[in-house]
Structure 1
Amino acid sequence: METLNKKKDGYSSRFGLLMVMVGGSVGTGNLWRFPRLVCTYGGAFVIAAVVSLLIIAIPLVMVENFAGRASRHSAPGAFRDLLGSKWTIMGTFATLCYFMMHCNYTVILAWVVRYLFMSITGSYFGVEDKLELFTNVASADWGTAVCWLVPMALVFFCTNRQGFLEKTAKFIVPIMLVILVGLACYSMTQPGAVEGLKYSFGFEFSELLNANIWIQAITQDFWSLGSGTMLCVTLSKYSAKKEDIVVNTNVQGFGDISFAMLGTLVVLPCIFTFAGSTEEALELAQSGNNGVTFVGLTNLFETLPMGRVIGTLFFLSLAFAAFTSIIAVTTVFAGPFIDMGWSRKKCIAGAIFFQVLLGFPSFMNQDILTNQDTTWGFGIFIGGMFSGILAMKFGARKMREKFINPVSDRKITRAFDIKAGYIAPIVSGVVLLVWLKDAIGWDEQWWNPFRTESVGTLLFQWAAGFVVAYFFAKKFNKDTIGVYYDPDKEEFPEIPERIMDEV
């Protein structure tokens, strides 16, 4: 009887659930994009990021946590069960966006792993032209291919059972935290580090009126926490019936931004201490994610005391961040097919195979990677709108009063109804339109669907994605097993036995 009681929940502990959620959210953007934006926009960006986290990102993730637990399905099945079969396409398209975005992300993992080994051996130390070195590493190099395929094989062993996913997250996330805390302590003790942080975090209140800072902050929150990706729909379908949604979601949100702040305390002191001047530090910080990480920081690691050790630990934490994100997205993409009764191992293997297959063009050509990253990265704002529509149509008030608050120690107020059902989807749409407007200026042939970063390529690929999602949604409507949500029972259903079998 004791054994049966222990197998009642999909996660072995609350800590395990939180590590999976935080590990799925924390990615490379926490350690390279967030610090770069702090350096560019100062403390105003940090304030905007926290505000948008509270008003937009966390409410959307809370909706997605509710949807997974209420339906006990991944996103397509959740939209089907909670709103009706005609809405399944929303969950399907959002899942597709998240998957496509991460197909090229696996290639970035390969770059990071390659640089991890180069840090261990010191092989980039003494190389004068580190931009050329990065170009060679990122241009279909055989060594990078090994650093791509081996970690992707490891993803299978970490995800072919739900319990393995939890154990992996419980191992990696705390280690990543310890490494970053250690690196931050080291960086902060370097001469001039404090002055650099003062420069980076300082701001004038008038800067909070800068719309671009808010756009960047909201975008960072979406890409980092995973709002609109349906990540938490899949992960929460395994959570216990009475697991605290409010506290868990807030821990996930602030855990994610805490990792980003740690990354900032690691990167910015190094840049400002060892760059020749403030102007040089700013130029490096604003040189783009790849410029900061694979060119600028590797140059700086050469000048640091114990530079090889620091570089190794930095790229190890970066590799851990990328790896935990990839094991999460593999589970998310496999989820709808598992819901149809397919073998979990086969679904996971298929998800890995297609990540490699669809990521191969990005591995061969950085322009294709840029195209795919832009297209599907902005596509998750569509997913944000869909999560907001779910809250609006199901009823954010009903969601809050009948489901979320009864299982949560910390109660959410009526403000959630407005934030989740109105503010979040509207802001998601506005931010997407702003990015599309800006994209018109990126390319004179903005209408051309065959350009790298044109509005035309975004709209064309999204349209193709909706066509694919339409046909898959019909399949999911027909073959997704079970309807566990009962509208006559205003409580979360127990975890079905067939889901427990995955654990």
Structure 2
Amino acid sequence: MSSQSSTQGAALAPEKRETFSSRKLFILSAIGSAVGLGNIWRFPYVAYENGGGAFLIPYIVAIFCAGIPLLFLDYAIGHRYRGSAPLSYRRANRKTEIIGWWQVLICFVIAIYYAAIIAWAAMYCWYSVTKAWGNDAEGFFYGEFLNTADTVGVSFDFVPNVFFPMLIVWIFTIVIMVAGVNKGIARANAVFMPLLIVMFLILVVQSVFLPGAIDGLNAFFTPNFDALQNPAVWAAAFGHIFFSLSVAFGIMVTYSSYMKRKSDLTGSGYVVALANSSFEILAGIGVFAALGFMAYNANSSVDSVVSGGIGLAFIAFPTIVSAAPFGALIGVLFFGSLVFAGLTSLISILEVIVAAFQDKLGWGRVKATLIVSIPVAVVSLLLFSATTGIYLLDTIDAFVNQFGILACALVMVIVFGSGLGMLPKLAKHLNRHSSIKLGTGWMVLVGGIGPAVLAYMLINEFQAKITEQYSGYPAWFNGVFGWGLCGLLIVVAGLISLIPWSKNSKLEDPEYDQHQQNVQAEAVPETVSKEY
């Protein structure tokens, strides 16, 4: 009889949430999420355009005044409430579930075009060997490679050069996701991140010995201290670090929910933030050394060749590859780095979506991954392997990945700061097992400076978008895939939050209740708050 009772008890016991097996694997995964395409192609350009070496001053201020404090907020919510973004927010307050779904849908949109850029980079690894672009890197990219349509719109004329690499990217990513947090995500980051660092270090060493490299480095590091008087430069620094650390995406909420109960949250956060920034500085050195060579080879100034984003990666760097000694190796290292950086970020983005539906509908890992990931992959392939994919990518990235995320982040910090007044409770949670303690300063940064900076950035972004049609695209196109999509995400997030949770979902956290009992039984040192 007792055996039967024991069996029933085991059957009713809640399944424990999967966790990273070690702090090192969490840190590698968090760094893998933070280090993405933007670190390599965005930071060097932003720094150059905003004062060069002087930009490092507002950049460092932004790290410690906005980036790390908001990163800790994500950590506190995810680790304290032990769920995906929607479940964690709901456990904090049932009215805030919509914020979680808003972040999930933003990740959905980013995932569908992020895979396309990874596929481009993978193809350009091979093109670096063959120098397929010839003497016209720009014409090759938009013409022969993307086969870009002459008219802005939506078509389903597929481009094989993009479709098949994207298909491979999605299959590879889904296999990793199906394997789970430890066997899939953690192991993938444990392999990809060291490879990324080694490849980029080799690239940097090669680049700094190219003729003209010193001119590129001078352009990158020479400080223009007059720029520090411009508020736009400070806004650029805060804006970059905000996106760079992947805060308010739901990513760090989800990842921190997989950390063990007694984890050093703040210590881990500082390691992640500083590792991310170190990689950005390294990227700046490698990229500008190469651009210096490009200017030297073209007998022009660095000003005339510098660019950011897609232009840097798929137009400027192929030109460097064609002219530089050992150019093929430089190309393989650069585009290979983009592939690895992109994959680690795509995995983290997709995990936000999978974990959310896994929690909401009570699905198992494999079922949730397949049901969520396959439709995402299909939409991605339909929209971004077509001849109009570049137009969609450009517009959606400009609106959702900036305007939408800023709005969501602003709502989040206001709600958890002024609205619910939860910052003291979250600070105590962060402090319990952390090596670096937080106090009033953290609450002021998150509840005061955070909303002010985000509001300023959001207003500037809004003004920029309504002043003129983005990229000169038709008004209907920006209206549908820009403003319309941003608004649609909020509406759909509200509708999903109204769907009842599965009976298998754990709206309360049994693990936390048990942990509370363990905490009360422990002898807590007087220097540590007893409130968890």
User: Normalized against structure 2, the TM-score is what?
Assistant: 0.84
Q: Contact between 1:9 and 1:240, CA under 8 Å: does it hold in 2?
A: no
Q: CA deviation at 1:327?
A: 0.8
Shift of the alpha carbon at 1:384? 1.5
Q: Check conservation: 1:440, 1:446, Cα contact below 8 A.
A: no
Q: Which residue of 2 aligns with 1:132?
A: 139
User: Is 2:188 the counterpart of 1:168?
Assistant: yes
Distance 1:319 1:130, change over 3 A: same
Confirm whether residue 407 of structure 1 aligns to residue 433 of structure 2. Answer: yes
Q: Distance in 2 between matches of 1:332 and 1:492?
A: 30
**Could you tell me how far 1:444 is from its partner in structure 2?**
8.9
Aligned CA-pair RMSD: 2.7
Q: Measure the CA separation in 2 of the matches of 1:492 and 1:209.
A: 54
The whole-number CA distance in structure 1 between the counterparts of 2:219 and 2:517 is 49
The within-5 A match list for 1:5-404 is 10-41=19-50, 42-82=52-92, 84-119=93-128, 121-124=129-132, 127-135=134-142, 136-139=144-147, 140-160=158-178, 161-163=180-182, 164-276=184-296, 280-286=301-307, 288-340=308-360, 341-359=362-380, 360-364=382-386, 365=388, 366-378=390-402, 379-392=404-417, 393-400=420-427, 402-404=428-430
Q: CA, structure 1 residues 181+66, in 2 after alignment: closer, same or farther (shift >3 Å)?
A: same
Greater shift in the superposed pair: 471-480 or 21-30: 471-480
From the superposition, tell whether residues 172 and 158 of structure 1 become closer, same or farther in structure 2 (CA, over 3 Å). same
Show CA shifts across 1:289-346 (max 9, x none). Answer: 2221111111111111111011101111110000111111111111111113112112
- 2:512 corresponds to 1:484: no
Partners of 1:24 and 1:92 lie apart in 2 by 19
**1:440 counterpart residue number:** 466
Cα distance change on mapping 1:411 and 1:9 into 2, 3 Å: farther
Q: Residues 179 and 317 of structure 1 are in contact (CA less than 8 Å); yes or no, is this contact kept in structure 2?
A: yes
Q: Which amino acid aligns with 1:93?
A: W
Distance 1:476 1:167, change over 3 A: farther
Amino acid at match of 1:156: I
Secondary structure of 1:117's match?
helix
Offset of residue 357 of structure 1: 3.0
2:452 to 417, 422, 426: 426
Structure 2 portions without partners, runs of 5+: 1-15, 148-157, 520-532
Q: Residues of 2 paired with 1:415 and 1:345: CA distance?
A: 43
Question: Closer, same or farther in 2 for the Cα pair 1:414/1:486, shift >3 Å?
Answer: farther
Structure 2 contact 77–426 (Cα < 8 Å) conserved: no
2:206 partner letter: Y
Summarize the Cα distance change of 1:394–1:78 in structure 2 as closer, same or farther, 3 Å threshold: farther
- Residues of 1 paired with 2:475 and 2:500: CA distance? 30
The Cα of 1:353 is off from its aligned counterpart by 2.1
Q: Distance in 1 between matches of 2:168 and 2:512?
A: 46
**Structure 1: runs of 5+ lacking an equivalent:** 1-6, 495-503
Question: What's the CA shift for 1:128?
Answer: 1.5
1:345-385 CA distance string (max 9 Å, x none): 12222332233233232332111111111121121112322
Whole-Å separation in 1 of the counterparts to 2:285 and 2:392? 32
How many pairs were matched up? 481
Structure 1 residue 22: Cα displacement = 0.4
Q: Distance in 1 between matches of 2:413 and 2:166?
A: 36
1:499 corresponds to which residue? Answer: none
Paired residue secondary structure (1:116): helix
Contact residue 85 and residue 477 of structure 1 kept, 8 A? no
SS in 2 for 1:408: coil
1:490/1:12 CA distance change after superposition, 3 Å: closer
Distance (whole Å) between structure 1 residues aligned to residue 377 and residue 37 of structure 2: 19
Quote the Cα distance in structure 2 between the aligned partners of 1:308 and 1:441.
43
User: Which 10-residue stretch deviates more, 411-420 or 273-282?
Assistant: 273-282
Report if aligned partners of 2:107, 2:350 keep a CA contact under 8 Å in 1.
no
Q: CA separation of 1:60/1:489 partners in 2, compared to 1, >3 Å: closer, same or farther?
A: farther
Name which one, 1 or 2, has greater alpha-carbon Rg. Answer: 2
1:10-36 residue CA offsets vs partner (Å, 9 max, x unmatched): 112111110110001111111111112
Query: 1:477 Cα deviation (Å)?
Result: 5.2
Kindly provide the amino acid, as one letter, of the partner of residue 104 in structure 1.
Y
* Segment drifting more, 461-470 vs 421-430: 421-430
Per-residue deviation, residues 21-68 of structure 1 (Å, max 9, x unmatched)? 000111111111111222322123332222212111211111111111
TM-fit CA distance, 1:239: 0.3
Using the alignment, how far apart are the partners of 2:512 and 2:424 within structure 1?
A: 15
- CA gap 1:376/1:174 in 2 versus in 1, 3 angstroms: same
User: 1:458, CA displacement in angstroms?
Assistant: 3.8
* Letter paired with 1:107: A
Amino acid at match of 1:429: A
Give the whole-Å Cα distance in 2 for the aligned partners of 1:457 and 1:382.
17
Letter in 2 for 1:184: V
Distance in 2, Cα, partners of 1:462 & 1:325: 22
| Cα deviation, residue 133, structure 1 | 1.1
The one-letter code sitting in structure 1 at the alignment partner of 2:100 is: G
Query: Separation in 1 of the partners of 2:320 and 2:513?
Result: 62
Comparing 197-206 with 290-299, which one deviates more in the overlay? 197-206
CA contact (8 A) 1:196 1:272 kept: yes
Residue 524 of structure 2 corresponds to which residue in structure 1? none
The 10-residue stretch of structure 1 (309-318 or 129-138) with the greater mean CA deviation from structure 2: 129-138
Distance in 1 (alpha carbons) for counterparts of 2:218 and 2:474: 44
The residue type equivalent to 1:317 in the other structure is: S
| Alignment check: 8 A CA contact 1:45 1:217 kept | yes
1:334–1:492 distance in 2 versus 1, CA, 3 Å: farther
- What amino acid does structure 2 have at the position aligned with 1:344? R
Compute the displacement of 1:215 (Å): 2.5
Instruction: Provide closer, same or farther for how the CA distance between residues 243 and 368 of structure 1 changes in structure 2, counting only shifts above 3 A.
Output: same
Partners of 1:90 and 1:383 within 8 A in 2: yes
